[in-house]
Structure 1
Amino acid sequence: MGGDGGVLTLFLAGDVMLGRGIDQILPHPGDPALPEAYVTDARTYVELAETANGTIPRGAPFSWPWGEALGLLDEAAPDARILNLETSVTQSDDIAPGKSVHYRMHPANLPCLAAARPDACALANNHVLDYGRGGLAETLDSLAAAGLRTAGAGRDLAEARRPAALPLSGERRLLVFSLGMASSGIPRTWAAGADRSGIDFVDEASDAAAAEVADRVRRAKRSGDLVVVSIHWGSNWGHSVPGDQVRFAHALVDGGADVVHGHSSHHPRPFEVYRGHPVLYGCGDLIDDYEGIGGHDRYRDDLRLLYFLSLEPDTGRLDHARLVPLQAHRMRLRHASREDSAWLHEVLARTSRTFGTHITRDPEGTFTVRAG
């Protein structure tokens, strides 16, 4: 892995939800039965998307959901690719009780995830145990067999808390921690224990919890290492950021984290540069099966962002960030129109201004954040 040039560029993505409707259009669809109150067949989500935007192929290529994002990733050539994988990878039928939505993808469809060549998948989220601890074990085994690194979930607490370690130039590493909070809908029973599988669970964004995570970062971080802390937190909708999340993120940076990678909201939330380090409070969904589902149209959750963060390799501080707007259409990512790009820029720039962040938009539609 790189990192020996003028900057170290990371690609960060929000929620990648390859289960349910997405799984049904891929070459190896799993059982479409769903334990949902209103939708009992995952193929219904495909039909909703087709009603909204047109026909979607069945048995689509594994690259289909990524669409034009793959070319943009190759063009940017980031040194590391990190995303939140918000689905179980299993054929288990052990349905988690008390949840209204369940996500799983067939293990044979993992080439879809591999198409984006992620270097680390954050797993501490509210869907990775949707099909029980047996489903989690199959998820971990499937990802490991595919050569995909993970963080945030494990067969015990030690494994769940172990960061993914990505090699950089020399003896340096990029460490990726993943943790999930109750505020995102994660059941407390999903917490990993000394002899219990689960996720790296944080009950609340308290000062004490931040100090504990920061202490783990300091103990793991060697001279020259950089650290990303990936956090699944907060509600699905809305642009405001609770004060406890802001304090938590700041405490992590103060404690040695170089990037705070937040997700859970279905649309992008503000971007902050705190003490020179990027804090993404919510990256929004990247891939999901929500086309044709109404109710929150004002948030335009069909618009997505690719986050490319270029860091100073010696300090981990932000040199600049490029944000590329895309749109989900027929369960595939395509470039956002000029009008949609302008709309998303206005919202993100306005909500980020509260944090002192200035976001510009170039004629091609790409957004830029400068460190100063």
Structure 2
Amino acid sequence: MFFPFTVVITGQSLIHHDIRQSCDPGFATIVDTLKQANVAFTNFENTVLGSHGGWPMKSSYFGCSDPCVLDALKEIGFNALALANNHAFDLGPPGILSTLEEVRARKFLYAGIGLDRDHAALAGVKTLGGRQVALVAMDAGPGPVTMYADNARLGRPPRPGVNGLEVSRLFEADQAAFDMLETIQATFQSTRLERANYAQPHDPLIIDQDNEIDFYGTVFRRADANHRRILVNPESASMQLATITTAAKRGCFVIAYLHHHHWEPRWQEVPEWVRAFAHDCIDAGARTFVCHGVPVLQPIELYKGAPIFFGLGNFIFHTNEGETEWSPPEVWKSVVTTCVFDQAGLLQSIDILPIVLRAEERLTDDDSHHWRVPRPAKGEAGKQIIDDLANRSAPFGTVVERRGVIGKIYMKN
């Protein structure tokens, strides 16, 4: 008899409050969905203030939580967590140690942080739903070099931190723009030593002296037109892909996860480098690719029998009082996806439940810090979320059918 293997994937969980006491009946239906899955996955967009202590490593965008939020995630049904993200290092190495300690104690499947680079890059492996499931989680920044785990070398001790996919930002500038940048830099007589001082904690950038300029930490290259590019370091990518391949060859069902903040000007658009890397992860053996970071819903693609979720926005999004950056209604809309796989690990179908993180009548309310739990989107709000997702997924060859307010994707034969 065929028993389907189900994986529920949600948006990211930036959780600062214990939500277990919520009496919202809509939230209860989402909890039921999580608990019925073999794997229920989210990104823990946070760090734990635990037995190892720690110190704030950021200013305005700092965040940490009591370990009880992990109890909340466990109790509502999650059993798999990505830990690689821009908040994982908000308490420095002690926060990494505390988070590792607390997720281990609760027996989550987890990946994305570690005691050094090799440890942080390991796949988490756990038997869930009768299958060996592996999770490979990485963060592509942007972030300071100090937040990423590093091995001991050249007299330096190891550094606990985040598993990093190394990427760089390059601006191509036409001749007029490039000449202007050179003039500005010459005016202020920037020397290599000065650039090195201001580059810290990073090392000075290595550039092509004839065609590139290090403009106070950003590389500009001569070109025919102005364009921004995000470049993935091949060596770093190969290391991550090798981890995926190794886990797949051992018979694991592999989930590849990427967190990044290299967003396009229109947040809903998928960066080309992300799509290329997602395909590389599936080619390496991953059965699912999930991306978070941009706080809005992005398209879904089916590639070689595997779903690619380019961005599922938010699932839990606990903001601080007075924050107004997150006022767009799209930030407070998302979906909960239930993926059904066959015994070979090939996708059969995806059920898509639209959700809102605020009451639907308050989607334009700037006072968001007290909204705690998601609930299913009803009526026109739910239809709009599914229809919008369908429209944006269509260019990727994905057909999203809507039945009432529920979306459905079938794998093509």
Q: TM-score, normalised by structure 2?
A: 0.72
Once the 2 structures are TM-superposed, how far is the Cα of residue 159 of structure 1 from its aligned partner? 2.1
Q: Distance in 1 between matches of 2:23 and 2:282?
A: 34
Residue 65 and residue 275 in structure 1: after superposition, are their counterparts in 2 closer, same or farther (change >3 A)?
farther
Q: Distance in 1 between matches of 2:280 and 2:342?
A: 21
Residue 235 and residue 339 in structure 1: after superposition, are their counterparts in 2 closer, same or farther (change >3 A)?
farther
The answer for the alignment partner of 2:149 in structure 1 is 192
Residue 5 and residue 64 in structure 1: after superposition, are their counterparts in 2 closer, same or farther (change >3 A)?
farther
- Give deviations 1:151-210, integer Å, cap 9, x for gaps: 11011223211212121566x41111111102xx33322111122111110122627243
Once the 2 structures are TM-superposed, how far is the Cα of residue 357 of structure 1 from its aligned partner? 0.7
The equivalences for 1:274-285 within 5 A come to 274-285=303-314
Q: Return the match for 1:162 from 119, 122, 145.
A: 122
Once the 2 structures are TM-superposed, how far is the Cα of residue 127 of structure 1 from its aligned partner? 0.2
Gaps of 5+ in 1: 27-60
Q: Return the match for 1:323 from 322, 347, 352.
A: 352
The answer for the alignment partner of 1:214 in structure 2 is 241
Once the 2 structures are TM-superposed, how far is the Cα of residue 296 of structure 1 from its aligned partner? 5.8
Pairs aligned (count): 324
**Which is higher, the Rg of structure 1 or of structure 2?**
2
The answer for the alignment partner of 1:366 in structure 2 is 406
The answer for the alignment partner of 1:342 in structure 2 is 383
Once the 2 structures are TM-superposed, how far is the Cα of residue 108 of structure 1 from its aligned partner? 3.7
Worse-matched range after superposition: 296-305 or 114-123? 296-305
- Give deviations 1:23-60, integer Å, cap 9, x for gaps: 3xx4xxxxxxxxxxxxxxxxxxxxxxxxxxxxxxxxxx
Worse-matched range after superposition: 316-325 or 284-293? 284-293
Q: Is the 8 A contact 1:126 1:187 kept in 2?
A: no
Q: Return the match for 1:229 from 244, 247, 256.
A: 256
Once the 2 structures are TM-superposed, how far is the Cα of residue 125 of structure 1 from its aligned partner? 0.3
Q: Is the 8 A contact 2:259 2:291 kept in 1?
A: yes
Q: Distance in 2 between matches of 1:275 and 1:116?
A: 32
The answer for the alignment partner of 1:49 in structure 2 is none
Which one-letter code corresponds to 1:163 in the other structure? A
The answer for the alignment partner of 2:339 in structure 1 is 309
Q: Return the match for 2:11 from 4, 9, 14.
A: 14
Counterpart secondary structure, 1:358: coil
The equivalences for 1:246-265 within 5 A come to 246-265=275-294
- For CA contacts below 8 A with separation 6 or more, give which structure has more relative contact order: 1
Q: Is the 8 A contact 1:66 1:333 kept in 2?
A: no
Which one-letter code corresponds to 1:174 in the other structure? V
Query: Does 2:170 align with 1:143?
Result: no
Counterpart secondary structure, 1:88: coil
Q: Distance in 2 between matches of 1:346 and 1:292?
A: 32
Q: Return the match for 2:22 from 56, 64, 67.
A: 64
The answer for the alignment partner of 1:173 in structure 2 is 132
Q: Distance in 2 between matches of 1:325 and 1:106?
A: 29
Q: TM-score, normalised by structure 1?
A: 0.80
Q: Distance in 2 between matches of 1:83 and 1:149?
A: 11
Once the 2 structures are TM-superposed, how far is the Cα of residue 298 of structure 1 from its aligned partner? 4.9
